[in-house]
Structure formats: structure tokens, C-alpha cells
Amino acid sequence: MDLSLFLQITTIASGVLMVVLVLLQQRGASLGAGFGASGELFTARRGVEKSLFGATVIFATVFVMSILAALLI
């Protein structure tokens, strides 16, 4: 398998998984929440929400690193 093909597959897969994980997160679901008018108190992430957040950060990092690696090759 060619390295550039591997990086392309990694970029696409991590991008798709990152979109899915972002859509699965519940916090800030209303339109007003984007402008600070959510009316909710801040609470710590727990359980599945914390796992989804961590996985989103990991896939975002993999996505950015694969793009940077593809640019350097």
C-alpha cells in the first residue's frame, strides 16, 4: 500500500468519524446556544459524553496530522 493512499484513507475515515462524533454530542443543541443564550449552567462532562468528547479530540488530531503529513510528502 502506497503511503499517500494510506494518508488519504486515514484523512477520509477520521473526518467522517469526527463528523459523526460531533453530531452525537448533546451539549448546545439549540441555535441560541451558539450565541451564549443557552440558559444552562455549565456542568462537567461525565460518562458517555466525556468519552465522545475525548474520541472527537483524538480523531480531530488524527485528521489534522494526516493532512499535514500528506502536504509534506
- Residue 41, pLDDT score: 62
The pLDDT of residue 50 is above 60: yes
Put simply, whether the predicted model's pTM sits higher than 0.85 gets the answer: no
Q: What is the pLDDT of residue 3?
A: 92
What are the residue boundaries of the structural domains of the chain, listed by start? 1-24+46-73
pLDDT confidence tier of residue 39, bands split at 50, 70 and 90: low
What CA–CA distance (Å, rounded) separates 19 from 23?
Answer: 6
Q: Would you say residue 38 has pLDDT above 60?
A: no
Q: Which of 20, 43, 40 is nearest to 32 (CA)?
A: 40
SS3 labels along the chain: CCHHHHHHHHHHHHHHHHHHHHHHCCCCCCHHHHHCCCCCCCCCCCCHHHHHHHHHHHHHHHHHHHHHHHHHC
Question: Cα(70)–Cα(60) distance, rounded to whole angstroms?
Answer: 15
